[in-house]
């Protein structure tokens, strides 16, 4: 990696690494020693720094707190058996970062800054990447508006930051899922495709109701008729119906997932029929009833390949076959992990070595 950004690095005097229990990591609770930070002012990005992880000082009038100009990304770095460290498809996250920025009326970030900020930080925190199976260093780039101004207008100043932290598997079990038919996550013409903070805040209340009813995740449907499936929690959703891999088309209500894209690519390379289209609730329920729905899973960076074991629609529960016995799901999750950990040839050139 060439250092072209002139990042000022201030290191911690004492690492916290020795105090971390890597066998019992909870997602998003452990952070590495350092974080990346940059500022946007007068129409350009500058002040690139890596500093000790810690609190930052903000104005209570900071516009992102009031009007939600704030969004993020999520990606992972993996340690291979030979010690090599690679980041999975950061170019895709850089692209989506800027799609979110545009929709939120925020400045874009040149891809080189995105990639270099992440690579430099990951390189510095290499020792924090867990060796445990299914574990990785989670990378959280984010941007937020910083003008201390209560007028409803795009901010003129912004902060870009990157946090990193070791994580294990996000879900520890197969998921019991409810098809949501009352609340919506996103609507046409809205910003469901942007990874902005409000999309997650708005999903919390319906998700809490789902949890209270005993469901692990909600399967979101279109906001007009609740007749078409869109996503599942913080993941894209995929179905194997009679041997065909089916997933909702990405549109303005659906996040364009990197894991989704990777799975579609692998399935096509394996000669499995793939359909990206609108997917109706009715057809999935029918396929579940007649046994043609053999696999259903969420696909996401944090979630990985997260298998669904039951789908409930209008209080009727449909059980799915045990994913442990599914040749497709097993092959898929193993192959994805094998690529990320460098155990097999990365034929699509997805790993960016740090
Ligand atoms: N959909 C939503 C709403 C998400 O938050 C995520 C997670 O990032 C995904 C889908 C999956 O996207 P990716 O595979 O890029 O992580
Ligand atoms: C990710 O998979 O990176 C996500 O963004 C999910 C997160 C909201 C927990």
The predicted structure's pLDDT at residue 3:
53
* Predicted pLDDT of residue 71: 98
- Residue 164: how many other CB atoms lie within 10 Å: 27
Sign of torsion over alpha carbons 186, 190, 194, 197: negative
User: What residues line ligand 1, using a CB cutoff of 6 Å?
Assistant: 74, 231, 234-236, 255, 257-260, 299-301
The tens-digit pLDDT sequence of the chain (354 residues) is 445 789 999 999 999 999 999 999 999 999 999 999 999 999 999 999 999 999 999 999 999 999 999 999 999 999 999 999 999 999 999 999 999 999 999 999 999 999 999 999 999 999 999 988 889 999 999 999 999 999 999 999 999 999 999 999 899 899 999 999 999 999 999 999 999 999 999 999 999 999 999 999 999 999 999 999 999 999 999 999 999 999 999 999 999 999 999 999 999 999 999 999 999 999 999 999 999 999 999 999 999 999 999 999 999 999 999 999 999 999 999 999 999 999 999 999 999 999
Cβ count within 10 A of residue 215: 20
**What's the sign of the alpha-carbon dihedral 321, 322, 324, 329?**
positive
pLDDT score of 5: 86
Domain with CATH 3.20.10.10 in the chain: 175-340
pLDDT given for residue 133 in this prediction = 87
Mutate to test the pocket of ligand 1, among 27, 72, 73, 74 (most ligand atoms within 8 A of CB): 74
Taking each helix axis from N to C terminus, what angle separates 258-269 and 327-340, rounded to the nearest 10 degrees?
Answer: 110
Please state, in angstroms and rounded to a whole number, the distance separating the CA atoms of residues 33 and 98: 27
Nearest atom, ligand 1, residue 96 CA: 15
pLDDT of amino acid 131: 87
305 Cα: distance to centroid of ligand 2 (angstroms): 13
Q: Give the helix/strand (H/E) hosting 347.
A: none
Query: Does residue 58 sit in helix, strand or coil?
Result: coil
The CA 176 to ligand 2 mean position distance, Å, reads 19
Any ligand 2 atom below 6 A from CB of 258: no
Cα of 42 vs centre of ligand 2, distance in Å, is: 31
Distance CA 293, CA 240 (A): 6
Q: State which of 206, 301, 302, 332 you would mutate to test the pocket of ligand 1, scoring each by most atoms of that ligand within 8 A of its C-beta.
A: 301
- Ligand found nearest the CA of 248: 1
What pTM was computed for the model?
0.97
- Straight-line distance from the first to the last Cα atom of the chain, in angstroms, rounded to the nearest whole number: 7
Residues carrying CATH 3.30.470.10, the chain: 8-168
Q: What is the residue whose two structure tokens read 């916290």? A: 16
Residue 2 confidence (pLDDT): 47
The CATH architecture annotation of domain 8-168 reads 2-Layer Sandwich (3.30)
For residue 248, which of 182, 192, 175, 169 has the smallest C-alpha distance? 192
Task: Report how far ligand 1's centroid is from the alpha carbon of 238 (Å).
Answer: 13
Q: Which structure tokens are listed for 161? A: 């930051």
- For the Cβ of 203 lying below 6 angstroms from any atom of ligand 2, the answer is no
Sequence-separated (6 or more) residues with CB below 8 Å from residue 280: 227, 228, 229
Q: Residues 289-304: pLDDT tens digits?
A: 999 999 999 999 999 9
CB of 300 closer than 6 angstroms to any ligand 2 atom: yes
Q: Is 301 in the pocket of ligand 2 (CB under 6 A)?
A: yes
Give, using CA atoms, the residue closest to atom 3 of ligand 2. Answer: 74
Q: Which of 232, 233, 234 to mutate to test the pocket of ligand 2 (most atoms within 8 A of CB)?
A: 234
Placement of tokens 């910083």 in the chain? 146
Furthest-apart CA atoms within the chain: distance in Å: 62
- C-alpha–C-alpha distance, residues 217 and 229, integer Å: 14
Which residue CA neighbors atom 8 of ligand 2 most closely? 234
Identify the pLDDT of residue 1: 47
Class of domain 175-340: alpha beta
């Amino acid at each position: 990696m060439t250092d072209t950004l002139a990042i000022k690095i201030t290191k911690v005097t004492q690492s916290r690494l020795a105090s971390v229990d890597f066998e019992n990591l909870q997602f998003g609770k452990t952070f590495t020693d350092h974080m990346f930070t940059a500022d946007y002012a007068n129409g350009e990005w500058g002040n690139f720094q890596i500093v000790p992880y810690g609190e930052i000082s903000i104005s209570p009038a900071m516009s992102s707190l009031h009007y939600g100009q704030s969004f993020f990304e999520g990606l992972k770095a993996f340690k291979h058996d030979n010690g090599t460290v690679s980041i999975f498809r950061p170019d895709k996250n850089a692209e989506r970062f800027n799609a979110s920025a545009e929709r939120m009326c925020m400045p874009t970030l040149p891809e080189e800054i995105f990639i270099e900020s992440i690579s430099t930080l990951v390189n510095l925190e290499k020792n924090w990447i867990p060796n445990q199976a299914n574990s990785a260093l989670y990378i959280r780039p984010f941007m937020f508006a910083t003008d201390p101004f209560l007028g409803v207008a795009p901010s003129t100043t912004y902060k870009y930051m990157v946090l990193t932290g070791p994580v294990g598997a996000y879900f520890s079990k197969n998921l019991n899922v409810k098809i949501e038919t009352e609340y919506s996550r996103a609507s046409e013409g809205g910003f469901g495709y942007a990874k902005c903070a409000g999309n997650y805040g708005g999903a919390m209340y319906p998700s809490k109701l789902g949890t209270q009813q005993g469901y692990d995740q909600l399967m979101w449907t279109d906001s007009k008729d609740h007749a078409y499936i869109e996503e599942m929690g913080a993941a894209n959703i995929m179905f194997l119906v009679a041997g065909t891999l089916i997933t909702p088309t990405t549109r303005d209500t659906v996040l364009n997932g990197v894991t989704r894209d990777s799975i579609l690519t692998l399935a096509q390379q394996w000669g499995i029929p793939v359909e990206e289209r609108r997917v109706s609730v009715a057809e999935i329920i029918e396929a579940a009833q007649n046994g043609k729905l053999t696999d259903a899973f969420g696909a996401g960076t944090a979630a990985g390949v997260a298998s669904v074991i039951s789908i409930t629609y209008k209080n009727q529960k449909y059980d799915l076959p045990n994913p442990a016995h599914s040749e497709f799901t097993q092959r898929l999750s193993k192959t994805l992990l094998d690529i990320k950990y460098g155990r097999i040839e990365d034929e699509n050139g997805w790993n960016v070595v740090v």
